[in-house]
Structure 1
Amino acid sequence: MLTELSIQDFAIIDKISITFNEGLTVLTGETGAGKSIIIDAVQLLAGCRGSVEFVRHGTSKAEIEGLFTLDSKDHKIFATGNYYGIDIQDEMVVLHRTITASGKSICRVNGKLVTLAILKEFGKNLIDIHSQHETQSLMNSENHIDLLDQFDEKKIKKSKDEYTKLYEKLSSLKKRYKELSENEQEMTHRLDLLQFQISELEQAELVPNEDVELNEERSQLANFERIYTGLQDAYNALYGEQKGIEWLNEANQALQDNQEYDSFIAEKAEEMSNHYFLIEELMYDLRNYTDTLQYDPGRLNEIESRLDEINRLKKKYGSSVDEILEYMGKIEEEIEQITNKDSHLSKLAEEINEISQDAYLEAKQLHDLRKKAAQSLKKDIQKELKGLYLEKASFSVEFDTKESTEQRTFKENVKMHKNGFDYIHFLISTNPGEPLKELNKTASGGELSRIMLALKKIFAKHQGVTSVIFDEVDTGVSGRVAQAIAEKIYQISNQSQVLCITHLPQVAAMSDTHKLIKKLEKNKRTSTEVLELSVKQKTDELGRMITGTKLTETAQKHANELLELASTYKTKI
């Protein structure tokens, strides 16, 4: 959940820090106090595009930072962190966004600089923002297939993963087939280039790890005098009269002569003897290696020339000899494929046909699983809509396919894509006798708010986001519908943290935490303040929301009744 939000020099906000709790938090206040500005800040934190207009007048930059705490190590944000190399410790994620007055945007995740696109990847797994005026993911039919798969993920995921593997392999084969079969002239030019490259590499007669070995030999020859002198000095320090090995021998003999009188001396005599023979062996190794050294200036010139040739090839074919040889193997294979193009095309066609059939069968299984999931989803949505006084509304999941232009050997001529061959649309009709239509083509503002809440209630736990934010989604409703919306929002807060900007006292009464947004004037500048209300303050604020003007005894009484109703509802749920 979003635990802490810090905003500085953003629009009319000077500097605020807000602590959020679990459950339902509502934000209320007069129009223009800065409620939606706070949501704008969270949106920027989630990766939305910013503007210099957000930077508070007279300041150099706007800064927003949010701390998110996770309640499970299985949260998908950990996979996102691993993918982008960002360490997530103690189940905490910190998103940071800076927008400068010059228009630059600086993004960080857990202190690491990231691009806006990467910040957005983190944001979409942590925050889901819904407002009355935005096109949300639930409204976009392109996302409906993923939502349906999430709804029954336990049954669908395994089949979908299998299909994805087959589809990726099929796409790779098709790409290779297209490359081999199209544009004869380009293929001829490609063959000429590859044959030139293979000829150049074969003439070089490269040996695996050759560059490493040559560099080592060059270093030895270039530093021959230092190496030789160092070995001689080490050997001379050990061998000869009054030198190291003689003193070690004396020490060894002294211990050997007296070991029978003391157990400690006996133990150390054995250790000393072992060390003496090791040093003696080392001394002879130094002498023998020194005898093998020969300085050959001609060999040094040969190495320099060979390394120059290898470095020239590295610029064209790889960073090491081993990489060049690996590339050489690849182009040999490609030359063979182009030279014997027809036989390879035939083999690829057979393989494409075989994988296509396997992919189709897996896609068909996916389709059958989705059909069953769609029936369950339909029942759940109808139940949620009934609770929002849309009992006469009808919800359906439409399955569609597209014809393929490719030749098929299986019965159905369907076009397969990354999710199978299904194209899925959520349809709804809010009144009897009206045809089912796509979500973004139906319903009034008040109806749309309820439909969206019903969908959010179903999908909140499946989407895995830690915080769901509603920005005035209750616009255009009142009375019993307002109470139903308040209850539905509270139900969602039992699955995920909910932050809600509202003008409805019914929603505010249902809150676990109530924050009041106030607009102040300090030093002749407008600023925003956030106050967490006590029970008494909450009652007064509800009364103000009911009357809209002066707080009356009747309004206070009504506010208390709303709070009692909310408390009763919470104990029942």
Structure 2
Amino acid sequence: MLTEFSIKNFAIIDELSIHFQKGLTVLTGGETGAGKSIIIDALGLLIGGRGSVEFVRHGEKKAELEGLFIIDDTTHPIYQKTEELGIEIMEDHMLVLHRTISHTGKSICRLNGKLITLGILKEIGQSIMDIHSQHETQTLLDKEKHIELLDYFHETTHPSFKKDYQKLYSQWLQLKNKYEANNKNEQELAQRIDLFEFQLKEIQNADLQPLEDVLLTNERNELNHFHTIHQNLNDAYNALHGEQKGLDWLSHASNNLEEAGEHNKEIQSMHEQFVNHYFLIEELSYQIRHHLDQMDYEPARIEIIESRLNEIDQLKRKYGTSVEEIMTYSAKIEEELEEIKNRDQHLSNLAATLNALANDLLIEAKELHTIRNKAAKKLEKAVLSELNDLYLEKTKFRVDINYVKSEKGISLDGFKVSPHKNGINQVKFLISTNPGEPVKELGKIASGGEMSRIMLALKNIFSKHQGITSVIFDEVDTGVSGRVAQSMAEKIYNISFGSQVLCITHLPQVASIADTHLRIEKVIKKERTHTTIKELSFEERIDEIGKMITGAELTDTSRTHAKELIEMNHKKR
């Protein structure tokens, strides 16, 4: 859940810090433009929404937004995502999102203090917070999203039902792309053959050896410093061998320790260790001598190495940064060249494999089709039950499932279908809110108030399983009143059982059922507009809801009504 939200220099808000509680929190404010929706806008930007310099308060250089979330459920997908990013969630399950928008339009995003991209902020933010507004209901009108909603409804009880299909689809799509890439026109293939043959000949003529560039570079370095290496090795050897030299003195020390050890066991042990090290140093001195004997300075060899390295560098500019990369590229184009030259046979083999894979894909897709039809019936029943509670009892709701047909698709039962990542289906939500009228697409039937209720019905179905920790409603109850408003209030409150809910509302029914009531006000100080926020006490809630009831001045009657409404909803809770 979201526990703290800080806003600085955002729109008309100079500085604001809001502490949120569990359950349902409502935000109200009698004056339009007081800042209620601005707070929702700020939350939208915090979870990756599109920013704009217009959000930066006039006269300031940047706007800053920061939210503190507590994610108690350690199985939440956010834990896996942050682990992939190398970001640690604190022991008390705290997650801090931070976003800065400068007056130049630059956006800086952080997660627990670590810089992240806007894309990652959006992915993280939208996995823990869901914002719904009057305009957001447009998502419901997008029929491309309906298949995902239906699948999600089924996934709550069968989380891996698409796994086999999607694995096959990935293989099929990869093979299909490969087949199409190989099935190109003759002129382009001829050009590729010429290019690959030239490149392959150039690389093969070079007769490269593994790690050749590294070995030659080391040899060149040794030859360039031959005299220094030889002189130092010679001096090292001479320092060890000869009368009054290193090994001679070490031999004297060994004799002294041996004699002393005859009378002391501890010294005797020291002598044994000394002898072992003496033999080791002696062996190293022989190795130095051997290396000196093997060293032979060849000035002409440097020229040969330089010429060979130059040849390799020319190949590196074209085919890779190392000999290994060049050899890998050579093997790759040799294989591709072979495929092109044997194109007909290769295409035939690919086509056969592709056809077999397509048949397997269709089997899984048809199974998905059957599953979706069963899930659709359950979803229809669940939505109608929710709509009945919202006094849309005469509404018809249908989930329409069809095949995605295409002339260039895969043959299925006498027609062709076009597979996509979710199968071969297209799903549409159809509705009729008036008796006797046929079901049609949502956007062609539902009014604003009806759309709000439909959206709330779907949200109430999905919210328990989405893993979203905070759900935001921005005036989704607009256009309703009376018993419908009371029913919507109860639906919104039900969602708060599984997720923290923040709701901007103008309805007294919603405000009265809340666990926490915040009032937002706009004030003028020193000729500048500021936004303030206050958590209301019980008596203050009565006054605020009383004003919401009358829409004007507070009266004794509205105050009494407001108190009764709060007490009634308290009993229902």
Residue correspondence of structure 1 range 169-318 to structure 2 within 5 A:
169-259=171-261, 261-318=263-320
Letter in 2 for 1:491: N
Query: Paired residue for 1:60?
Result: 61
The answer to whether the Cα contact below 8 Å between 1:385 and 1:450 also exists between their aligned partners in 2 is: yes
- Secondary structure at the counterpart of residue 321 of structure 2: coil
- Mean Cα deviation higher: 310-319 or 224-233: 224-233
Aligned residues: 569
Task: State the partner residue of 2:467.
Answer: 464
Q: Deviations over 1:453-474 (max 9, x none)?
A: 1101111233322221100011
**In structure 1, C-alpha distance between the alignment counterparts of 2:50 and 2:410, rounded to whole Å:** 44
1:88/1:373 Cα in 2 relative to 1: closer, same or farther (>3 Å)? farther
Q: For the Cα contact (< 8 Å) 1:393–1:430, is it kept in 2?
A: yes
Give 1:333 shift: 0.8
- Cα 1:270/1:378, change in 2 over 3 Å: farther
- Of the three residues 139, 142, 147, the one matched with 1:140 is 142
Residues 288 and 386 of structure 1: CA distance in aligned 2, closer, same or farther (over 3 Å): same
| Alignment match, 1:89 | 89
Aligned to 1:143, the other structure's residue is in SS state helix
Counterparts in 2 of 1:276 and 1:540: CA distance versus 1, 3 Å:
farther
TM-score (norm 2): 0.93
Q: Which residue of 2 aligns with 1:20?
A: 20
What does residue 328 of structure 1 align with?
Answer: 330
- Shift of residue 255 of structure 1? 3.5
Distance, in Å, in 2 between the alignment partners of 1:566 and 1:267 is 90
Give the whole-Å Cα distance in 1 for the aligned partners of 2:329 and 2:446: 60
* 1:334-392 CA-partner distances (Å, limit 9, x unpaired): 11111111111111110110110111111112222222222222222222222222222
Which residues in structure 2 correspond to 1:433-448 (within 5 Å)?
433-448=436-451
Shift of 1:222: 2.1
Which whole-Å CA distance do the structure 1 matches of 2:504 and 2:396 have between them?
29
Match of 2:39 in 1: 38
AA in 2 matched with 1:67: L
* 2:387 corresponds to: 385
CA distance in 2, matches of 1:333, 1:387: 66
Note if contact 1:86-1:112 (Cα within 8 Å) is conserved in structure 2: no
Q: State the alpha-carbon separation in 1 of the partners of residues 538 and 229 from structure 2.
A: 84
Instruction: Pick closer, same or farther for the CA change 1:241–1:337 going to 2, 3 Å.
Output: same
Question: Match of 2:506, SS?
Answer: coil
Deviation (angstroms), 1:311: 1.6
Residue 493 of structure 1 deviates from its aligned partner by 1.2
2:444 paired with 1:424: no
Q: Are residues 157 and 472 of structure 1, via their aligned partners in 2, closer, same or farther at CA, if it must alter by over 3 Å? A: same
Match of 1:48 in 2: 49
Kindly state the Cα deviation for residue 408 of structure 1 after the two structures are TM-superposed: 4.6
CA-to-partner distance for each residue in 1:516-542, whole Å, 9 max, x for gaps? 111111221010011122333333322
Q: 1:298–1:461: structure 2 CA closer, same or farther, 3 Å change rule?
A: farther
Tell me, in whole angstroms, the C-alpha distance in 2 between the residues paired with 1:154 and 1:210: 58
In the alignment, what sits opposite 1:103?
A: 105
Structure 1 distance, partners of 2:250, 2:139, is 82
Equivalents in 2 of 1:384, 1:253: separation in Å? Answer: 100
Q: Residues 154 and 213 from structure 1, CA distance in 2 versus in 1: closer, same or farther, beyond 3 angstroms?
A: farther
Letter matched to residue 69 of structure 1: I
- Per-residue deviation, 1:440: 2.7
Q: Aligned match of 2:341 in 339, 342, 362?
A: 339
Cα distance in structure 2, aligned partners of 1:359 and 1:335: 31
Structure-2 change in CA distance of 1:316 and 1:494 (3 Å):
same
**Residue number among 555, 560, 567 corresponding to 1:557 in the alignment:** 560
> What SS does the aligned partner of 1:158 have?
coil
Letter in 1 for 2:527: K
CA contact under 8 A between 1:155 and 1:369: conserved in structure 2? no
Give the structure 2 partner of residue 514 of structure 1: 517
Alignment partners' CA distance in 2, 1:115 and 1:101 = 19
Contact 1:86 1:109 in 2 (8 A): no
Q: Is the 8 A contact 1:27 1:501 kept in 2?
A: yes
Q: 8 Å contact 1:149–1:156 — kept in the other structure?
A: no
Q: Is 2:541 the partner of 1:538?
A: yes
Greater shift in the superposed pair: 542-551 or 442-451: 542-551
Most deviating of 322-331 and 234-243: 234-243
Tell me: CA distance 1:407–1:128, structure 2 relative to 1, closer, same or farther (3 Å): closer
Does the Cα contact within 8 Å between 1:130 and 1:136 map onto a contact in 2?
Answer: no
Cα distance, 1:564 vs. partner? 1.9
For normalisation by structure 1, the TM-score amounts to 0.93
Change (3 A) 1:5 1:288: same
Quick check: 1:93–1:109 contact (8 Å CA) kept in 2? yes
Distance 1:414 1:385 in 2: 34
Matched residue type, 1:55? V
The secondary structure found in structure 2 opposite 1:404 is: strand
Question: Which of 506, 516, 527 is matched with 1:503 structurally?
Answer: 506
Where do 5+ consecutive residues of structure 1 fail to align? none
Q: Counterpart in 1 of 2:29? A: 29
Amino acid at match of 2:64: E
Cα 1:410–1:476 change in 2 (3 A) is closer
Deviation per CA, 1:207-258: give whole Å up to 9, x if none: 1221222222222222223333333343334333343333433443343334
Match of 1:149 in 2: 151
1: CA distance, partners of 2:232 / 2:460:
78
Question: Is the CA contact (8 Å cut-off) linking 1:231 and 1:290 kept in structure 2?
Answer: yes
- Please give the alpha-carbon distance, in whole angstroms, between the structure 2 residues aligned to 1:493 and 1:361: 41
Amino acid at match of 2:205: Q
Partner of 2:375: 373
Deviations, residues 280-333 of structure 1 (Å, cap 9, x unaligned): 222222222232222222222222221122122112111211111111111011
CA distance in 2, matches of 1:156, 1:480: 36
For 2:234 and 2:409, the matched residues in 1 are separated by 79
User: CA distance change for structure 1 residues 229 and 567 in 2, over 3 Å: closer, same or farther?
Assistant: farther
Q: 3-state SS of the aligned residue for 1:461?
A: coil
Q: Deviations over 1:482-505 (max 9, x none)?
A: 111111111111111211111112
**For the Cα contact (< 8 Å) 1:504–1:545, is it kept in 2?**
yes
Amino acid at match of 1:43: G
How big is the shift at 1:130? 0.8
SS of the equivalent of 1:378 reads helix
Q: Which moved more, 1:254-263 or 1:371-380?
A: 254-263
Q: CA RMSD in A?
A: 2.2
Correspondence for 2:455: 452
2:515 matched to 1:491? no
What amino acid sits opposite 2:530 in the alignment?
A: S
- Larger deviation: 115-124 or 413-422? 115-124
- Give the equivalent residue in structure 1 for 2:526: 523
Residue 100 of structure 1 deviates from its aligned partner by 2.3
User: Is 1:77 equivalent to 2:69 in the alignment?
Assistant: no
Instruction: Classify 1:544/1:335 alpha carbon distance in 2 versus 1 (closer, same or farther; 3 Å).
Output: same
Alignment check: 8 A CA contact 1:12 1:34 kept: yes
- In structure 2, the CA distance between the partners of 1:494 and 1:231, relative to structure 1 (3 Å rule), is farther
Q: Amino acid of the residue matched to residue 146 of structure 1?
A: E
Task: Measure, in 1, the Cα distance between the counterparts of 2:259 and 2:500.
Answer: 83
Residues 253 and 554 of structure 1, relative CA distance in 2, 3 Å threshold: farther
